[in-house]
Structure 1
Amino acid sequence: MKNKKKVSFWEFFQGLGKTFMLPVALLAFMGLLLGIGSSFSGESTIDALPFLGNQFLQIVFRFMSTIGAFAFSYLPVMFAMAIPLGLVRKEKGIAAFSGFVGYTIMNLSINFYLTENSLLADPEELREAGQGMVFGIQTIEMGVLGGIIAGLLVYQLHKRFYTIQLPDSLSFFSGVRFVPIITSLVLAVVGLIIPIIWPIFAVVITGIGTLIQSAGVFGPFLFGAGERLLLPFGLHHILVAMVRFTEAGGSAIIEGNQIFGALNIFYAELQQGLPISGDATAFLSQGKMPTFIFGLPAAALAMYHAATPKNRHKIKGLLISGVVATAVTGITEPIEFLFLFISPLLWIFHVIMTGLGFMIMPLVGVVIGNTDGGLLDFLIFGIMQGNYTRWWMVIVIGAIWFAFYYFVFKTVILKFDLKTPGREKVTDETEYTEEETHYKKKGSYNVPEMIDALGGAQNIEVVDNCITRLRLVLKQGAIVDDNKLKELGALGVVHLGENNVQVIVGTKVTSVRNELDSLLYD
């Protein structure tokens, strides 16, 4: 082989998006547990539906909430492990282990920097300071971006060092054992750099908060769009905390006390039985409802319809659980993470539409508070509060959002052939014959000649394998030399379409696949 196949920038990000499916699938399920458990154990829900206050039911709901919170508390480290696990081609277990090591050490290093420079925030002010807890380590709150940074760095380190040979005196640390070692060193340095550059982002967000307060009717748009835009970086907590609890979210005199922050104002008015201020709710649940209850479920429906028909049954459960978590409880990550890293265009569309939802709701007179933006908020703080909330306008605007989201998502997915769930390049389900499951070629395969028979390295886009077959996605399946492959020892060649080809290799398929990977990618 003269030329080794290079993975293009786009192919890399397609592969990166695929690695996210493992934590996202868990996130969808855990989102249901967390959303239902936390919603039905909340004081406002119990006040509205007193039978839910039953002690046994509350224990069940609190248990569901505790278990469901796992995925959201540890989502960044799951990304740090899933990215190298999915991207590396060999020694995947070491890659995932190194992802955990690297992410933890990065946060320990951040904590060391904050401690040495007396920058650790008081426990009750963590979110306002942009800090959080990771495995008991007080660190900068970076959200999933922290996990992605660690995961990508570990992937590059693994690819570079997993075959390294050290001098004889250090030979014990050679090969895969060196990967977590070099990961520890590199991520420790990265952890010292992050606190130096991260305050720049906090300053920008503070400026945004000031801008929101002075932007009039466009203030809610800036808040809603900014909050979604910052979500992947874990910086949205700073913006949300500013608007909910400081002057950036407004001020009001209630029972002789000056109250700052949109959420504080809303709760104070609710507690005193006063008319709810539309200026406060403009930054609360109502702005999320068109997107959360209608828009994202429509996006999920578009992804379902855009999937290949034979794959729809495989993704139905994932999408349904994501829709329930999003629409009922306002936990949106299970749906958003299905397209966030695949299509920046769809993400920007989603950011803008969320901002528009925040802007339009107060303009049409909707007055619905609280924080989640799901059906429970819509029921408890909208419908059950009376007609003055103008809750029916949420349905009117939501219907428009549903149609718009569905049209845009389906059009973009199909036009750009985005690999949303169910659209991955896959082969048909295989029925294995007894002959191929026991087939074992005498001697080894000449893999370089097999590559030539497949049309050359430039013709091979994706290499995978099952228990007996090489599963290949090719640019041109028609140029494959079936007879040559059989001469080289293949039991048979199956063409499943213009691009999908399976080469029946038998019990030696794993070693052939590994040699193919080595020749094409290393």
Structure 2
Amino acid sequence: MSNQSTSPQITFWEFFQSLGKTFMLPVALLSFCGILLGIGSSLSSEGVIAQLPWLGNPTVKLFFQWMAWIGDFAFGYLPVMFAIAIPLGLARDNKGVAAFSGFIGFAVFNLSINFYLKQAGILESFDELELKKQNIKAILGVQTIDTGILGAIIVGIVVYFLHEKFHRTELPDAFSFFGGVRFVPIITLLTMNVLGLAIPFIWPFFAAAINGLGSLIQGAGIFAPFLFGAGERFLLPFGLHHILVTLIRFTEAGGTLEVCNNTISGALLIFKEELACSEVTEFSVSATRFLSQGKMPAFLGGLPGAALAIYHCAKPANRMKIKGLLISGVIACMVGGTTEPIEFLFLFVAPFLFVIHAILTGLGFMIMGLLDVTIGNTDGNIIDFIVLGVLQGTKTNWHWVPVIAGLWFVIYYIIFRFAITKFDIPTPGREKDSNEALANEFSGTPANFDSTGYDIEGILVALGGKKNIVSLDNCITRLRLSVQDMSLVQENKLKSLKALGVVKLNDHNLQVVIGTKVQTVKDGLEKLMKVN
């Protein structure tokens, strides 16, 4: 048997960045399902029906109950989605096989644990209450140890490495049918069987570590959401914030509560369970203080204030040239919860402003918790505010959001305007370049800018050409690349082609901040690389 692999080796740094990016596929679905669940549960509740009797119509009520039922789907199958999404996102070739193997791995992993529990007599020895205490529950139809998101992440990572090592495996002629990509699910099945048998012995150590992290975070008291909110922002430029966010949202690090006779761990999962349970009359601040509400002061108020300050500080002749850039950034922030298009306008030219922004974001998290605001979900945008705040009634204390967001707008505007003018920070519209250069950078008028608004060919050249690119991927707003020779990457040229920033992580890995059209740019680059 031989294993011929020509794929470039992934670095430690690149691996963790890419791992965090893979979390966004299931999280994006969760965000949408959270909105469905919020609308459905709110408009089918007896309290809202009492105020709006027409919602009590059987057909209307059934529709919103159905909406809530569909919205609850993603939360119930979250671990298996992570197990599939991780190898899918990390694999460089044959992604479909990697995703298929992810499901196989997760299923076999839990079946193997179930086998051990049966052989050890644990399932027969304890009643339902005792099994619950032992963290044993039904997953994919079998009773197993509930390893949660952490277990799914472990499965996904192992499957990815198996895929990368064996997807080009050549077997002897008699067994050649099982070679190549067909060998990946086979080796996955065998490996996960062994790992599943080991889990009952090693899982208590993993659980103790996560519980210890949770105790450390909860022990910070009122400062816990501040540390989380500021930490997430500080990690964002490096693309590692997804790791912290996932731990808080989906593991014991984000807290553990009893909700409707179910023990739930993870801030987002606790909120979702409370949202779906008709017996819950108040959402838990201990969970929501790590969720959407904490982002809202900065996302709905602060960053729009910073954008206005950047606009007012631009040279009068350049304001109209940057107006569209700023407006699109504010819309992405307030409606989509995507902040990088604004943040990267000042991150590289004035890092101390980003530090202030991160601290103010953390303070927003802390103040929302102190005011007992209870608005959950993931994005912190205007949709979360309306659906999971306003529609849930006064119990969420949503009225504090516009007050604090308005205050943050003023604070950001004053700080940014003072800093930009005092220290002559070259934010958009204040550069020393000529007016013609500015017009080219922000208007997208050059002849080689295609219908996407970007010069894809120019970006490829600025990256050192096709031969310099080892791997190419993207997250929500950034191209993520590995290159052969970093010296061939023309940072200033990329910025002149409308890149918002360039983050050089090490000698071979970098990120190019594009904005909300990053997928289009990445697809264009891949198409161009195949042609040339």
Normalising by the smaller structure, the TM-score range is 0.5 to 0.7
Query: Does residue 241 of structure 2 align to residue 231 of structure 1?
Result: no
Residue matched to 1:320: 335
Partner residue of 1:22 out of 3, 20, 25: 25
Cα distance in structure 2, aligned partners of 1:14 and 1:192: 30
> What residue ranges of structure 1 are gaps of 5+ in the alignment?
247-262, 271-275, 324-344, 412-427, 433-450, 466-470, 480-494, 514-522
2:366 match = 356
Change (3 A) 1:298 1:64: farther
User: Does 1:115 pair with 2:110?
Assistant: no
Deviations 1:163-208 (A, max 9, x none): 1122233222111111000011112222223332333455577789
- Aligned partners of 1:287 and 1:357 also within 8 Å: no
Paired residues for 1:80-99 under 5 Å = 80-99=83-102
Query: What residue is the counterpart of 1:181 in the other structure?
Result: 186
**1:475 corresponding residue in structure 2:** 486
Inter-partner Cα distance in structure 1 for 2:183 and 2:210: 40
- Aligned-partner residue type, residue 475 of structure 1: M
> Alpha carbons of 1:193 and 1:472: their partners in 2 closer, same or farther (altered >3 Å)?
closer
5 Å-filtered alignment, 1:314-393, equals 320=335, 356-357=366-367, 360-361=370-371, 383=394
Q: Report the equivalent of 1:100.
A: 103
Q: Where does residue 176 of structure 2 map in the other structure?
A: 171
Q: CA deviation at 1:94?
A: 1.2
Q: Does 1:78 align with 2:81?
A: yes
Paired residues, number: 389
Q: CA deviation at 1:108?
A: 1.6
Residue type of the partner of 2:29?
L
1:295/1:142 CA distance change after superposition, 3 Å? farther
The answer to whether the aligner puts 1:136 opposite 2:141 as a matched pair is yes
Counterpart-to-counterpart distance in 2, 1:223 and 1:431: 43
Residue type matched to 1:153 in 2? V
Is contact 1:289–1:394 with CA below 8 Å preserved after alignment? no
Rate the CA distance shift 1:26–1:359 in 2: closer, same or farther, 3 A: closer
What's the TM-score, normalizing by structure 2? 0.53
Partner amino acid, structure 2, of 1:88: A
Q: Summarize the Cα distance change of 1:139–1:23 in structure 2 as closer, same or farther, 3 Å threshold.
A: same
Assess, with a 3 A threshold, how the Cα gap between structure 1 residues 102 and 282 changes in structure 2: closer, same or farther.
Answer: closer
Query: Given the superposition, is the C-alpha separation of residues 219 and 293 from structure 1 closer, same or farther in structure 2, using an over 3 Å criterion?
Result: same
Equivalent residue letter for 1:7? I
Q: CA deviation at 1:83?
A: 2.3
Correspondence 1:196 to 2:232:
no
One-letter code aligned to 1:320: V
1:147 deviates by 2.8
Q: Secondary structure of the equivalent of 1:182?
A: helix
> Does the aligned pair in 2 maintain the 1:31–1:68 contact within 8 Å?
yes
Could you say what the CA RMSD is over the residues aligned between the two structures, in angstroms? 6.1
Q: 1:430 to 1:63 in 2, by over 3 A?
A: same
The answer on whether the counterparts of 1:46 and 1:53 sit within 8 Å (CA) in structure 2 is yes
User: Residues 129 and 172 (structure 1 numbering): CA distance in 2 closer, same or farther, change over 3 Å?
Assistant: same
Q: What residue ranges of structure 2 are gaps of 5+ in the alignment?
A: 1-5, 229-243, 264-273, 311-322, 339-354, 378-383, 420-447, 453-460, 475-480, 491-495, 503-511, 513-520
In the alignment, is the contact (CA less than 8 A) between 1:19 and 1:82 conserved in 2? yes
Rate the CA distance shift 1:320–1:149 in 2: closer, same or farther, 3 A. farther
Equivalent of residue 13 in structure 1, options 11, 16, 20: 16
Mapped partners of 1:139, 1:315: distance in 2: 46
Residue identity matched to 1:60:
F
Residues 402 and 286 of structure 1: is their aligned pair in 2 closer, same or farther, counting only changes over 3 Å? farther
Paired amino acid for 2:258: A
Distance 1:111 1:304 in 2: 55
Please give the per-residue CA displacement for 1:311-344, whole angstroms capped at 9, x wherever unaligned: 9969968973669xxxxxxxxxxxxxxxxxxxxx
For residues 526 and 224 of structure 2, what CA distance do their matches in structure 1 show? Answer: 59
Shift in CA distance, 54/71, structure 1 to aligned 2, threshold 3 Å: same
- Return the alpha-carbon distance in structure 2 between the equivalents of residues 31 and 101 of structure 1: 27
- State the AA in 2 paired with 1:70: F
Counterpart in the other structure of 1:326 = none
Change (3 A) 1:117 1:91: same
**SS at structure 1 position matched to 2:143:** strand
Match of residue 241 from structure 1:
258
Q: What code does the residue aligned with 1:71 have?
A: A
Specify whether residues 212 and 161 from structure 1 end up closer, same or farther in structure 2 by C-alpha distance, changes over 3 A only: closer
- The one-letter amino acid paired with 2:335 is I
Partner of 2:42: 39
Instruction: Classify the secondary structure of the residue corresponding to 1:240.
Output: strand
